[in-house]
């Protein structure tokens, strides 16, 4: 087990997706059907989850999954301090 001083910072990411109203947009067709894949502790695990879901829905051009950088929303000043 590592000490708190040596742990990487927790950079939360949310993966979600659903059918969009138009190609290239970001508005979901039906908010009740938005797929909340999960919250992940870092970008790498979020990206793996995003990629798996995106590949499952490749046949529907209107389906799109996103990675939301929750850590930037929770602490917007941290991104400017750390460059992340």
In a domain, 24, yes or no: no
Taking 80 as the threshold, does the pLDDT of residue 79 lie above it? no
In a domain, 2, yes or no: no
In a domain, 32, yes or no: no
In a domain, 19, yes or no: no
In a domain, 35, yes or no: no
29-67 pLDDT, tens digit each = 999 999 999 999 999 999 999 999 999 999 999 999 999
Residue 66 structural domain: 8-14+42-84
In a domain, 28, yes or no: no
CA dist., res. 13 & res. 46, Å (int): 6
In a domain, 75, yes or no: yes
What is the reported pLDDT for 2? Answer: 45
Antiparallel, parallel or unpaired: β 35-40 and 13-19:
antiparallel
Residue from 64, 18, 66, 15 nearest 42 by CA: 15
Q: Are 75 and 84 in contact (CB under 8 A)?
A: no
Name the pTM for this structure.
0.80
Backbone angles phi, psi at 65, to 5 degrees: -115, 150
Tokens representing residue 6 in the block: 């040596």
Q: What is the tally of structural domains in the chain?
A: 1
């Amino acid at each position: 087990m590592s000490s708190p001083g040596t742990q990487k910072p927790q950079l939360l990411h949310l993966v979600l997706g659903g059918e969009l109203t138009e190609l290239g947009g970001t508005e979901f067709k039906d908010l009740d059907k938005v797929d909340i894949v999960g919250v992940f502790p870092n970008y790498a695990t979020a990206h793996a989850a995003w990629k798996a879901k995106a590949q499952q829905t490749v046949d529907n051009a209107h389906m799109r999954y996103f990675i939301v950088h929750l850590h930037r929303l929770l602490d917007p000043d941290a991104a400017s301090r750390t460059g992340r």
